[in-house]
Amino acid sequence: MSDASPAKVKRRSLEDAPVRVVSARANLPTRLRNLWSRHELLTSLIFSDIRIKYKNSTLGIFWSMLSPALTLGIYDLVFSVITKNGYPNFALYLFAGLIVWNMFMGAVNMATGVIVDRAGLVKKVSFPREILALANVGASVVYFTIQLGVLCLFLLALGRAPAWGFLWILPISFVALYLLTASVAIVMSAVTVYLRDMRHLMEVLLQLWFWLSPVVYSYQNTIAQRLHDHGLTWMYFINPITPIILTFQRIFYVKTTVFSTNPPHPAINILPTWSMSSFAFMNLTLLGIMIVLFLLSLTIFGRLEGNFESEL
């Protein structure tokens, strides 16, 4: 006959019970309404993240300009001086792609562990948890805006103008970038609650993702051209950030064909020679896909949110 009391038996059975993810606390329309109703909290968290990041820093938010500028200088030194790729004004080409990548990478890196890092707040206060990831994305938008201003000053210094006819596509491309960034950030913030190693794995994956994107090399003369020769160009656009980077480069670098600075100065097809309508169609299609992806990310977050308190 067992000496265990009914209370002990019940406690052991509860401890041995498998943890399962419960259904979402709110359906998708309700989640969207909750997010909108807490937009003031979102704004507060965005600027709180910026203050925390640059707390006790002498240069403060100026680092958001200096850091990409230093990275730009290193890449320009490697590709223009050491390897001499022959692209004129290659720093401008780099910067147009880097500001897109910096926003995406910075937000995803910060958001991946944000639920875990703010476990105390998550367990004590009731609010839409995805706001924490969206606050990181919002902070990255602020840094992006500053860097975009630096890019415009860079254009003035070089005496160049953007492709004015393509400029109206820029907001569409930016919204697609925001939704892509927010979608990845929201999902990764939830997944990391259950798999803590995802924070470190994501750093590695982002490095790989960077080199699969046409930031420091020409889209037209590398991987895409080889895929085009085999009728597989579509594979290159599985990477959703590629069309966004190409759009920014087309608008700010402007030229699709340049003459190499290396003798005998051959012509280089540095960017696709697509028409404005092709860029517009590409970005509108991507925007539609990103809207669906964002809604899907909220649904996934809702499914994973059920056991946050027990996992944290």
Q: What is the tens place of the pLDDT at every residue in 128-149?
A: 889 999 999 999 999 899 889 8
Domain coverage including residue 148: 40-311
- Does residue 12 belong to any structural domain of this protein? no
- Does residue 7 belong to any structural domain of this protein? no
Contact 136, 42 (CB under 8 A): no
Of the pLDDT bands very low, low, confident and very high (cuts 50, 70, 90), residue 234 is low
Q: Give the pLDDT of residue 247.
A: 95
Say if residue 72's pLDDT is above 80.
no
- Does residue 28 belong to any structural domain of this protein? no
- Does residue 166 belong to any structural domain of this protein? yes
Give the pTM.
0.85
- pLDDT-wise least confident of 4-18, 101-115, 158-172, 278-292: 4-18
Number of domains in the chain: 1
- Does residue 60 belong to any structural domain of this protein? yes
pLDDT (tens digit per residue) in 212-222: 888 887 776 66
- Does residue 75 belong to any structural domain of this protein? yes
- Does residue 29 belong to any structural domain of this protein? no
Q: Give the pLDDT of residue 277.
A: 94
Q: Give the pLDDT of residue 191.
A: 92
- Does residue 10 belong to any structural domain of this protein? no
